[in-house]
Amino acid sequence: MNKITAPLAILWMLVLFSCEDAGKQQNDNNTTVEKPAVQSDQSSLDERKVILFFGNSLSAAHGIDPEKGFVGLTAKRIDSLGLPYKVINAGLSGETTAGGKTRIDWILRQPIDIFILELGGNDALRGIDPDDSYKNLKYIIEQVVAKYTDAKIVIAGMEAPPNMGADYTSNFRGIFPKLAKEYDAALIPFLLEGVGGVPSLNLPDGIHPNVEGHKVVAENVWAVLEGLLVN
């Protein structure tokens, strides 16, 4: 993975900060945030396989119509190709790896065939020890594979802000490829590749992907996910 530039990394830090604030705002507004939003047919008789995105406000498409976020775009693409999958968006703004650890049992009440893990960014903002983040993500993955042994895992890589220091950012970055190797998971090196730090691909706040930005993120995801849908 190419090294993140300093301006991009600073904006990435702002993205993480906004993710946390977005979560607080949703809770203050009494928004139902735990129930996964099904992006395609909700029929109980639907026999399609399940792709579940488990993440934070990036998955939740903060600031735009969720159908235009990268998860919604992925669902539409799969439907347009006639592939036998449905997509569930379990993104929760402000979520940390510790929060995901407490939420995973509830999520696993439903069958999962492909599990896309998009957590860790808010840990970096808080300066949480990368070893703790690693352990939380490891726990989440282990719960998934223990219950659904044939489930395929996809891990979305994240970056830490540069003010945490070179050692921290390096150790944090290393969490994701390490987990991918340990669990034979597919890896998206950096979810916001090509979007972070690009004004035209972000909302007016300059920190969240806009509709066009989510299209780029969707391509980052598709580059990894596509191969799992035909195997």
Phi, psi of 165 (to 5 degrees): 100, 155
- What is the identity of the amino acid at 171? N
Distance CA 177, CA 181 (A): 6
Which residues carry out catalysis? 57, 205, 208
Distance CA 50, CA 229 (A): 11
Residue of 38, 26, 30, 33 lying closest to 71 (CA atoms): 38
Strand blocks (E) in 67-127: 85-89, 114-118
Distance CA 64, CA 210 (A): 7
Grouping H, G, I as helix, E, B as strand and the rest as coil, residue 79 is helix
How many C-alpha atoms does 194 have within 13 Å on its Cβ side? Answer: 13
- What is the identity of the amino acid at 127? G
Helix (H) or strand (E) holding 160: none
38, β-bridge pairs: 88
How many C-alpha atoms does 138 have within 13 Å on its Cβ side? Answer: 12
Strand blocks (E) in 56-205: 85-89, 114-118, 152-156, 186-188
